[in-house]
Amino acid sequence: MTEPLLPLIVEPEALEAALGTEGLLVVSVDEPATYAQGHVPGAVHLRFASLIAPRPPAMGTMADAAQLSEAFSSIGLTPETHVVAYDGEGSGKASRLLWTLDVIGHRRFSLLNGGLQAWAGEGHKVETEPATPTRSDYRVGAFGDALADKQYILDRLGDGSMIVLDARTPPEYAGQDMRSARGGHIPGAANFDWMLAVDRDRNLRLRPEAELRAMLEERGITPDKEVVAHCQTHTRSSHSYIVLKSLGYPNIRGYDGSWSEWGNDPDVPVEQ
The domain in which residue 184 lies consists of: 147-262
Dihedral sign, Cα of residue 132, residue 4, residue 61, residue 87: negative
Q: What is the pTM of this model?
A: 0.97
Of the candidates 48, 97, 53, the one whose C-alpha atom is nearest the C-alpha of residue 254 is 97
- Same domain membership, residue 117 and residue 40: yes
Establish if 272 belongs to a structural domain.
Answer: no
pLDDT (mean) for 150-158 = 96
How many whole angstroms from its chain centre is CA 56? 21
- Residue 116 and residue 174 share a domain: no
Q: What is the count of structural domains for the chain?
A: 2
pLDDT tens string 34-80: 999 999 999 999 999 999 999 999 999 999 999 999 999 999 999 99
CA nearest 253: which of 151, 146, 149?
A: 146
Question: Are 152 and 229 found together in one domain?
Answer: yes
In a domain, 126, yes or no: no
Same domain for 155 and 96 = no
Distance of CA 83 to the CA centre of its chain: 13
pLDDT attached to residue 113 = 98
Q: Which amino acid is at 204?
A: L
**Given 121, 136, 159, which residue is the final one in a domain?**
121
In a domain, 142, yes or no: no
Regarding whether 20 and 108 lie in a shared domain, the answer is: yes
Q: Does residue 239 form part of some domain?
A: yes
137-148 residue pLDDT tens: 999 998 999 999
108, 157: one domain: no
- The arithmetic mean of pLDDT across residues 115-134, rounded, is 97
- Per annotation, catalytic residue among 25, 104, 231, 242: 231
Q: Tens of pLDDT along 182-232? A: 999 999 999 999 999 999 999 999 999 999 999 999 999 999 999 999 999
Residue 268 scores a pLDDT above 60:
yes
pLDDT of 189: 98
Active site includes 183? no
- Whose CA is closest to 106, among 17, 10, 4? 4
**At residue 3, does pLDDT exceed 80?**
no
Q: Is residue 48 part of a domain?
A: yes
The answer to whether position 181 is within a domain reads: yes
| Residue 4: predicted pLDDT | 80
Residues 24 and 91 in one domain: yes
- DSSP secondary structure string, 129-157? SPP-PPP---------TTEE-HHHHHTTT
In a domain, 138, yes or no: no
Decide: helix, strand or coil at residue 21.
Answer: coil
16 lies in the same domain as 115: yes
Q: Quick one: pLDDT band at residue 2, thresholds 50, 70, 90?
A: low
Same domain, 31 and 89: yes
Domain boundary residue, one of 87, 121, 155: 121
Q: What is the mean pLDDT of the chain?
A: 97
Residues 153 and 245 in one domain: yes
Tell me, what DSSP letter sits at residue 249?
Answer: -
Does 250 lie in the same domain as 164? yes
Q: At 15, which CATH number?
A: 3.40.250.10
Task: Answer yes or no: is 18 within a domain.
Answer: yes
Domain co-membership, 163 together with 207 = yes
- Tell me if 235 sits within 8 A of 49, measured CB to CB: no
